[in-house]
Structure 1
Amino acid sequence: MTDGPNYGFDTLQVHAGARPDPATGARQTPIYQSTSYVFRDADHAAALFNLQEVGYIYSRLTNPTVAVLQERIATLEGGVGAVCCSSGHAAQIMSLFPLMGPGCNVVVSTRLYGGSITQFSQTIKRFGWSATFVDFDDTDAVAAAIDDDTRAVFCESVSNPGGYVTDIPAIAAIADKAGLPLIVDNTSATPYLCRPIEMGATLVVHSTTKYLTGSGTVTGGCVVDSGKFDWSQSDKFPSLSAPEPAYHGLKFHETFGELAFTFHGIAIGLRDLGMTMNPQGAHYTLLGIETLSLRMDRHVANAKKIAAWLEKDDRIEKVTYAGLESSPYAERAGKLYPKGAGALFTCAVKGGYDACIKLVDNLEIFSHVANLGDTRSLIIHPASTTHRQLTEEQQEAAGAAPDTVRLSIGIETVEDLLADLDQALNKATAA
């Protein structure tokens, strides 16, 4: 696609980043299943390795299929560039890698996916980093948690598992005042429902495994660079502002400007961490993105009907869906996410832990899997699976209490989904 007018989302999700293959004229982006690429000559090779020219060297760093996906996601998110990697968890580490150092911390929302809580509370300690967890509804507490060693603020747009909606503009204002980048995980909302960069986010991360691919076929991750942060405004981000020894003193921000983070993510992050997305995975994700808006409209429509039905059901204690008028986040969701609050939410089942286990074991259409964002409807009991490693207090804070199941609503016929839930709830809550 060449530069042109301001194309609509539906056009961009099909065309952004893609061009007919110059060798064959193939209209669909080919899978470039190659580890390496032939240099024109020695000078060309040297220019590529010196970052003086953009091109392909080795598929750990760059690959033509992955490059199309990077451009497409960056375009849909309103960013200047993106780096794709092997998973959503990899994307989170990739987003922090240029920013952090031993002794540095990141201020993180308490409402995160259980694996992310473990990654931030435990795993990053191995790098000498730390995380401070805060309820992001308490903006004063978020501001107070930031200190001289803080290097980023991190949250999810629509949280997993509870569907909590973050007030991104408010958090972005706090981060901006502190001179820090805001990183937003936009996996659950997707750029169709939410554009964090327009709300002040510096970086956006995705598990492309979920709604972007949409079919439960491949894992992947992506970090989108807004290009709007001044990495040289202080000495907090030397990886981007100071001379880089591995490139003969090159300064990424001085040299690449708004694309500094993107180039660093490829030239340093992928080079040294090796969290590479494979080209076949990128191909599947490109195919998925082509129907993203169509699927999300159906996901949201089904989620609204099912959440409303569950809310009125005597077998259910509560439903957390922000798309319900009764939700404490309904006004925020309507303002920030006018196309819908996603299709991920939790419900508390009367009968507690045991009833939740019976529910997931008796569903027929819903699949009991550790995934979300599939065309298929999915269910999981976080307290016994994704959030099992957390304390009960942490589970409660994350919206994953023992009496709670997480629903990821698919695109099936909604009446079939309601009937499936009805029969399984009968068995789960029977005396």
Structure 2
Amino acid sequence: MAYGFDTLQIHAGARPDPATGARQVPIYQTTAYVFRDAEHAAALFNLQEVGYIYSRLTNPTVAALQERVATLEGGVGAVCCSSGHAAQIMALFPLMGPGLNVVVSTRLYGGSITQFSQTIKRFGWSATFVDFDDLDAVAAAIDDNTRAVFCESIANPGGYVTDLDAVAKIADAAGLPLIVDNTSATPYLCRPIEHGATLVVHSMTKYLTGNGTVTGGVVVDSGNFDWSASDKFPSLSEPEPAYHGLKFHETFGPLAFTFHSIAIGLRDLGMTLNPQAAHYTLMGIETLSLRMERHVLNAEKVAGWLESHPTIEAVTYAGLASSPYHDRVARICPKGAGGLFTIALKGGYDACTRFVDSLELFSHVANLGDTRSLVIHSASTTHRQLSPEQQTAAGAAPNVVRISIGIEDAADIIADLDQALTKAHG
């Protein structure tokens, strides 16, 4: 039976515990699992049988979360890890090698820009940054050493909506996987695999958990990419020495990436999600659709009010008819443009810091996607390590404040913004 999203967000991956009948997924707080016998242990380590060995690799609570997120995204499998940043490295790990590159959007979260522009160099990888509105430039940036294309569905911080269909066509024509960070949209608003994405990553810390309690990341595998179509992805298509010459794509088919990420990625990188964090996220996802509906409803009201405020130069929310990306919302995010956007204040940097300090209902934090309304001045915090040019390209110029609209009463959110803007501008 084909269940709807609201049903799947509660039931996918969650079965009554066979030992106790517990209805909620238990927290399996254990490091290791007893093998039935020596033959069973050997089969598990040879990847001949699926099961639990050690919680760095697999854990029943985490497995339930993996199944739930994969189901909601329309993927064949998923691998959870310790954070959204860990998920991005996990997504690239089987694809990359020294001297290889990834083509990425300029409109990314500031931490992701740093990870791609600086940190991955330590692995011998590199990133080419391109404005993904310029499709010709995206295609031109791809060369013989490119192994993936990376973007966000709804970009943090500006709420920019990427034309995933167009970008997917370019990646497909080049024989490359498209990796989409779907953190800001969630699978309730956008399902990138339906638009041609090969892999979907999330910082589950944000909307999926929704309560600001734990960090977590996930990589969802579409199962649609032919890893053996070329010689570009030997980790998946060629014999793996650590498993007696096993070929992941030949052996596991559509689940090749998922199995590789567990058997190699988590085994060697160890960026494991702990079972208690998985439990919090499972509970958060149970109300995902309800929360996202309210986030969108409130964001539409608040953005509309801000757009007409005399102290505001611009509002970037794609849900506004004035947004240059408004026409993409119905196609890419049919249930709404999310709850994240930026505002540009008259008065520049100083007005922004006064505004942030004057807010009372909003929490000034380096997070988004919480039930609470959140605010941050990106240029002085999350994006301060970037150059002014990079800040502007990423939508985090000095006069810009990022707002994550919560699920409180919209009138209260507006009232708090109003008094803070008044104080910020004297």
Alignment of 1:8-27 (within 5 A): 8-27=4-23
Query: Out of 331, 338, 351, which is 1:335 matched to?
Result: 331
Match runs of 1:1-400 below 5 Å: 5-400=1-396
Normalised TM-score (structure 2): 1.00
| 1:107 alignment partner AA | V
Report the Cα distance in structure 2 between the residues aligned to 1:8 and 1:429, rounded to whole angstroms. 48
SS in 2 for 1:318: strand
Give secondary structure in 2 for the equivalent of 1:7. coil
The residue matched to 1:72 in structure 2 has which SS? helix
The amino acid of 2:133's aligned partner reads D
When the two chains are superposed, the root-mean-square deviation of aligned CA atoms in Å is 0.3
How far is 1:337 from its partner?
1.1
**Unaligned segments of structure 1, at least 5 residues:** none
User: In 1, distance between residues paired with 2:116 and 2:417?
Assistant: 34
The answer to whether 1:409 aligns with 2:405 is: yes
Amino acid in structure 1 at the alignment position of 2:187: P
- TM-score computed with the length of structure 1 as normaliser: 0.99
Structure 2: distance between partners of 1:186 and 1:336:
11
The separation in 1 between residues aligned to 2:333 and 2:233, in whole angstroms, is: 32
Q: Which amino acid aligns with 1:60?
A: R
Post-superposition offset of 1:90: 0.1
**Distance in 2 of aligned mates of 1:415 and 1:163:** 22
1:220-268 superposed Cα distances (whole Å, 9 cap, x missing partner): 0000000000000000000000000000000000000000000000000
SS at match of 1:46: helix
Aligned counterparts of 2:343 and 2:331: Cα–Cα separation in 1: 24
Moved over 2 A (4+): none
Q: CA deviation at 1:334?
A: 2.0
| Structure 1 counterpart of 2:68, one-letter code | R
SS in structure 2 at match of 1:282: helix
2:244 aligned partner, one-letter code: H
Q: Distance in 1 between matches of 2:364 and 2:333?
A: 28
Task: Report SS of the residue matched to 1:82.
Answer: strand
Identity of aligned residues (%): 83
Structure 1 Cα separation of the partners of residues 326 and 176 of structure 2: 29
Query: What SS does the corresponding residue of 1:209 show, helix, strand or coil?
Result: coil
SS of equivalent residue, structure 2 residue 267: helix
Aligned amino acid, residue 81 of structure 2: C
Amino acid at match of 1:347: I
Matched residue type, 1:205: V
Cα shift at 1:177: 0.2
Distance apart, 1:196 and its partner CA? 0.2
> SS of the counterpart of 1:169?
helix
Cα deviations by residue, 1:137-168 (Å, 9 ceiling, x for unpaired): 00000000000000000000000000000000
SS state of the match for residue 339, structure 1? coil
Alignment partners' CA distance in 2, 1:321 and 1:424: 20
Between 230-239 and 330-339, report the one with greater CA deviation: 330-339
The superposition leaves residues 178-223 of structure 1 with CA deviations (integer Å, 9 ceiling, x where unpaired) of: 0000000000000000000000000000000000000000000000
Q: Which amino acid in structure 2 is aligned with residue 220 of structure 1?
A: G
The Cα shift of 1:385 comes to 0.3
Q: Distance in 2 between matches of 1:303 and 1:126?
A: 40
Aligned-partner Cα distance in 2 for 1:345–1:216: 19
Partners of 1:247 and 1:138 lie apart in 2 by 43
SS in 2 for 1:223: strand
Give SS of 1:309's match.
Answer: helix
1:336 positional shift: 1.6
Equivalent residue letter for 2:111: G
In 2, distance between residues paired with 1:335 and 1:229? 23
Structure 1: how far apart are the matches of 2:337 and 2:325? 10
Output the CA distance in 1 between the equivalents of 2:317 and 2:161.
Answer: 9
Structure 2 unaligned residues grouped into runs of 5+: none
Distance 2:148 2:133 in 1: 18
